[in-house]
Amino acid sequence: MTSSAEYKNLESKYYMQVVNRMPPVLVRGEGTRVFDNDGNSYLDFTAGWAVLNLGHSHPAVTDAIRDQAGKILQMSNLFYTTPQLPLAKIIVDNSDIDRVFFCNSGAEANEGACKVARKWGKIKLDGAYEIITTLDSFHGRTQAMMAATGQPHYQDNWRPLMPGFVNVPYNDIQAIKDSYKEGQTCAVLLEPVQGEGGVNVPSDNYLKDVMDFCHDKNILFMLDEVQTGMGRLGTLFGYQQFAGVEPDVMTLAKALGSGAPLGAFTTKEFCSVLEPGDHGSTFGGNALTTAAGSAAAKVIVDEDIPALATETGAYFQGKLTALAEKHSFIEEVRGMGLLIAIQMTEEIAGATVTAALPEGLLINAVRPNMVRFMPPLNVTREEIDEAVAILDKVFTNINN
């Protein structure tokens, strides 16, 4: 058996060092738990960065992958393949969207959405090309999406950035109105709740106000649901938490493939402007990944997993709020569904993540003073209680 040290030596020798890895060498997962090469068990409250909404190795997803692997893995989109069709139908039937294009990741999905917006600007707005995004957003790490992502630390090493994106404050409709330029602006791209930016929940009317402004100006209202989609916020799609909101364009990834690399950009019929030759992807709509996604989506819809996320998320937030009453350096608990963060008055998030690890809990420091939680949506209350007890122990030790 290869030891953990041998795996780490191989990684240090052959892999690009673009990630500061945590110590465990993880080899197996089941539900909310993962196991390392040395036999240790951990509660996974990262879920592969909000990917594994049904947890690790869900039977329906595992069976679908096994079954599809014995049939066909990959064909060109020049030909019909079957698994992508039921998944597209589930997305359309349960949203206000009409058309779907599958790709491989969230960044690719957002790139595709921005191509839709720019073509819309070209044919409907006399060549308008600029897209308004927000500060503290995250839309991916490609050249274009770094310009869309309103966080300087993702941008500084790559300047000059690709033109065509304007970053304005989040949850500020006036900032969008002030940045709009007739004949130049073609779309606004937002996250319903900012995830990587700090689990920032907008005011109730913000998304609706932005949508109304976009429609008044005939520009596209686009929502990045890469992290919030597939039940994370307590509805199948995050925008459904906000009354009267319907995106013209919506992007998905992460939980869409339930662990398989799968993304999508989607449009309403009126702005489905791409034609043959405008876009493509060798692996987009791959038979294996869409089989996994279709199986996962069916479980999420049939078993009403988003409603479970609402109930369990409220329970988790309640437990974290009680923890905040005990530990005065916890400044705020915020979130929606099972996308939750705690903000602290001190920059101890990294120390919290490090101290929780040997206690058997995987969490994420999204800011120096902020920890983010995104467990599987079918996490149990008992597992939440266990995680909160670990956090209580860690905070007590840090405070001493």
The pLDDT value recorded for residue 109 is 98
**Inter-residue contact 344 to 327 (CB < 8 Å):** no
Q: Are 101 and 273 in contact (CB under 8 A)?
A: no
What's the sign of the alpha-carbon dihedral 178, 181, 182, 188? negative
Phi, psi angles (nearest 5°) of residue 170 = -75, 150
Query: What does the domain layout of the chain look like in residue ranges?
Result: 4-58+305-399, 72-302
pTM: 0.96
**Confidence band of 295 (pLDDT split at 50, 70, 90):** very high
State residue 298's pLDDT score. Answer: 98
Nearest Cα to Cα of residue 83 among 288, 302, 257, 251 = 288
Could you report the per-residue pLDDT of 65-91, keeping only the tens digit for each? Answer: 999 999 999 998 889 888 999 999 999
Secondary structure class of 308 (helix, strand, coil): helix
AA identity, residue 156: D
Asked if residue 329 lies in contact with residue 344, where contact means CB atoms within 8 angstroms, the answer is: yes
Q: The tokens 């900012």 sit on which residue?
A: 194
Buried b (16+ CB within 10 A) or exposed e, 119-140: bbbeebbeebbbbbbbbbbbbb
Instruction: Compute and round to an integer the Cα radius of gyration of the chain.
Output: 21
Quick: pLDDT tens for 250-279.
999 999 999 999 999 999 999 999 999 999
Q: Does 399 have pLDDT greater than 80?
A: no
The CATH number corresponding to 72-302 among 3.40.640.10, 3.30.200.20, 3.30.70.370, 3.30.300.20 equals 3.40.640.10
Distance CA 88, CA 242 (A): 23
The CA angle 92-266-187, to the nearest 5 degrees, is 135
pLDDT score for 81: 85
Eight-state DSSP code of residue 233: T
pLDDT value for 82? 87
Say if residue 8's pLDDT is above 90: no
Task: Please state, in angstroms and rounded to a whole number, the distance separating the CA atoms of residues 53 and 354.
Answer: 24
Q: Band the pLDDT of 19: cuts 50, 70, 90.
A: confident
CA–CA gap between residue 96 and residue 351 (Å, rounded): 43
pLDDT in tens, 369-388: 999 999 999 999 999 999 99
Mean pLDDT of 90-113: 98
Greatest CA span in the chain, whole angstroms? 64
The pLDDT of residue 322 is 97
Spatial separation of the C-alpha atoms in residues 130 and 141, rounded to whole Å: 19
Mean pLDDT, rounded, for 193-212: 97
For residue 1, what pLDDT is reported?
72
Residue 2's pLDDT is what? 87
Residue 23 structure tokens: 């110590």
Work out the mean pLDDT of the chain and round it to a whole number: 96
Check residues 367 and 19 and name the one with the higher pLDDT.
367
User: What is the edge-to-edge ordering of all strands in the sheet holding 370-373?
Assistant: 330-336, 339-344, 370-373, 364-367
β-pairing verdict for 185-190 and 130-134: parallel
Mean pLDDT to the nearest integer, 155-165? 93
**Angle made by CA atoms 188, 189, 193, in degrees to the nearest 5:** 130
Rounded Cα distance, 366 and 339, in Å:
12
pLDDT of res. 142: 95
DSSP of 14-76: HS---S---S--EEEEEBTEEEETTS-EEEESSHHHHT-TT-BT-HHHHHHHHHHHTT-S---
Name the band, by pLDDT with cuts 50, 70 and 90, for residue 321.
very high
For 219-249, write each residue's pLDDT tens digit.
Answer: 999 999 999 999 999 999 999 999 999 999 9
Query: What pLDDT score was predicted for residue 105?
Result: 98
The pLDDT score that the predictor gives to residue 77 is 87
- Quote the pLDDT of residue 222: 99
Percentage of residues in the chain having pLDDT higher than 90: 94
Residue 290: is its pLDDT beyond 90? yes
pLDDT of residue 193: 98
pLDDT higher than threshold 80 for residue 5: yes
In this structure, which topology does domain 4-58+305-399 adopt according to CATH? Aspartate Aminotransferase, domain 1 (3.90.1150)
